[in-house]
Amino acid sequence: MGRSARRRERSDSGMRQHTRVGKAVQRRRTVLTAVAAALGMTAVLAGCGMTSGSDEVTLKLVAADYGENKGNSSQKYWDALVEDFEAEHSGIKVDVDVYSWKDVDAKVAAMVRKGEAPDMAQIGAYADYAAAGKLYSADELLSVPVQSDFLPSLTEAGELKRVQYGLPFASSTRLLFYNKKLFKNASLTPPKTWSQLAQDAGTLKARGVKYPFALPLGAEEAPAETLIWMLSGGAGYTDTAGSYTLDDEQNVKTFDWLKNKLVTPGLTGPVAPADLNRQDAFDAFTRGEVGMLNGHPTLMKQARAKGIDFGMVPMPGPDGKTSATMGVADWMMGFKQNGHRDEIGQFLDFVYSEKNVVEFSERYNILPVTTSASDAMAADSSHKALKPFIEELGSSRLYPVGKTSWAQVSAEIKKRIGGAVSRSGSPGSVLGSLQTYASAAEAAE
């Protein structure tokens, strides 16, 4: 090979080597760029609450326990529901902690105070968190079909200043329970008016019934029994504008009637209404010691377990059936703190599917909160016993839970309302003092 040819070969070889080096450098730069980009994205995702190195989001839910024991704990319901949800929604995990009703509200409040709000909470009240700007509104979370499926009375109760923040999760209403055996032995029929109710109670007392009419105005659930009677009398806790009206003239007349026609004649049993708690009254009913009392669906299960033959009718009014009955609801809410609006919305759309609402309601003898689930259960003969409650729920009126002052007012009712029907008590005076307290709390909202 000549010198000239060797020079060309060395030159070509050098060019090939330079090209290989250049390509290697470029590949290295590409890899480094990709690594840097991946690290940067990981940092961004971690900052959004994502699991490091993945797109997975873990939502935190704190919920109340509706079970009677560990075997029927709500934790089992949520575990099964979450498993189904995660199977259909890759990238979203849900961690649920269930606490007893006596602890759950305080648990969530403590988490919020520490700046560690859960993504969702299923508890007893939402208004304080909504007023503080900590919650997503319903239309920020739910699809239109799901949000519009809530029963109208429950939707309205979940609103603060006409914006829905509280998502009804479980509901209940009340019917008048009566012991069929005691009524049959006394040749009585279920009362349709207050006057007949008092007459029936008098007959039952004469026959030795311990509690002709159980009137639980003790601290456990005094606001419920109070509202039942206020609505029965034609008034309530608030007027149409939403302002407190505890000392409304009709409310005073209602409690005057209770004191003079039931309590003073000894028709409410050996325990003063101010000292009688709801569960104690339920227990007495399951022992066959109560002729009549206001009860919710869970009393059916308790009474059947003890072999009590009972009937249920709407609460009577002064001259016939009342136009409204008391309803109660517990609430689901989504907190803004962690910024998982889309993921929360996907999970709650799943929670509020007809199938899941029906399953929860069946398991815990709770009334469904959606129209679709209500219709499904009303049409199912296996839920025949719940049908009267479901029918009453449509015309129910709930506590004024959209008022941030309600928790304070409710606590004060628990302390004072029993005194309104005591021998030395004055309904007008007690309701007047409660109204003064409520007005002051309302003004401070």
pLDDT tens figures, 152-163: 989 999 999 999
**294 three-class SS:** strand
Does pTM top 0.85 for this prediction? no
CA-wise closest residue to 201 among 250, 275, 258:
258
**To which H or E segment does residue 325 belong?**
strand 325-334
**Confidence check: pLDDT of 44 > 50:** no
**212 three-class SS:** strand
Per-residue pLDDT band for 365 (boundaries 50, 70, 90) equals: confident
**399 three-class SS:** coil
Q: Average pLDDT, stretch 187-214?
A: 98
CA-wise closest residue to 405 among 370, 353, 444, 361:
444
Per-residue pLDDT band for 440 (boundaries 50, 70, 90) equals: very high
Amino acid at 56: E
- Tokens (6 digits) for 61: 């839910």
Amino acid at 396: S
- Rounded Cα distance, 60 and 124, in Å: 18
For the stretch 126-162, pLDDT in tens is: 999 999 999 999 999 999 999 999 999 899 999 999 9
**Confidence check: pLDDT of 49 > 60:** no
- Rounded Cα distance, 278 and 295, in Å: 9
- Rounded Cα distance, 400 and 224, in Å: 12
pLDDT of residue 288: 98
- Tokens (6 digits) for 442: 């309302």
Question: Could you identify the residue written with the tokens 């639980």?
Answer: 216
Per-residue pLDDT band for 54 (boundaries 50, 70, 90) equals: low
pLDDT above 90: percentage of residues in the chain: 78
What is the sign of the dihedral through the CA atoms of 69, 73, 76 and 77?
Answer: positive
**Confidence check: pLDDT of 182 > 50:** yes
CATH classification of 57-172+328-398, choosing from 3.40.630.30, 3.40.190.10, 3.90.850.10, 3.40.50.300? 3.40.190.10
C-alpha distances (whole Å) from 377 to each of 144, 260, 390 are 22, 41, 9
How do strand 57-64 and strand 167-173 relate by DSSP bridges?
Answer: unpaired
341-351 and 74-88 helices, crossing angle to 10°: 120
Are 433 and 254 contacting, i.e. CB atoms less than 8 angstroms apart? no
- Residue 237 phi, psi (nearest 5): -75, -30
How do strand 396-398 and strand 290-295 relate by DSSP bridges?
Answer: unpaired
Query: Which residues are CB-contacts of 352 (< 8 A; sequence separation ≥ 6)?
Result: 142, 146, 149, 167, 370
Lowest-confidence segment of 29-43, 183-197, 310-324, 332-346 by average pLDDT: 29-43
For the stretch 296-335, pLDDT in tens is: 998 998 999 999 999 999 999 999 988 788 999 999 999 9
- Rounded Cα distance, 162 and 296, in Å: 29
- Rounded Cα distance, 411 and 424, in Å: 22
Amino acid at 436: T
Burial of 231 (0-12, 13-18, 19+ CB in 10 A): buried
Amino acid at 172: S
C-alpha distances (whole Å) from 111 to each of 103, 115, 134, 401 are 12, 6, 13, 21
Q: Average pLDDT, stretch 171-193?
A: 97
Query: Which residues are CB-contacts of 122 (< 8 A; sequence separation ≥ 6)?
Result: 61, 62, 63, 64, 169, 330, 331, 332, 333
- Rounded Cα distance, 163 and 165, in Å: 6
Amino acid at 25: V
Q: What is the CATH number of domain 175-314+405-443?
A: 3.40.190.10
Q: Average pLDDT, stretch 3-15?
A: 41
For the CA atoms of 302, 308, 311, 315, the dihedral, rounded to the nearest 10 degrees, stands at -60
For the chain, the average pLDDT equals 88
Q: Please state the domain extents for the chain.
A: 57-172+328-398, 175-314+405-443
DSSP E strand boundaries for 165-287: 167-173, 175-179, 211-213
DSSP 119: S
pLDDT of residue 188: 98
**Confidence check: pLDDT of 78 > 80:** yes
Q: Quick check: do 57-172+328-398 and 175-314+405-443 share a fold? A: yes
pLDDT above 70: percentage of residues in the chain: 88
- Rounded Cα distance, 400 and 157, in Å: 7
Q: Average pLDDT, stretch 193-197?
A: 98
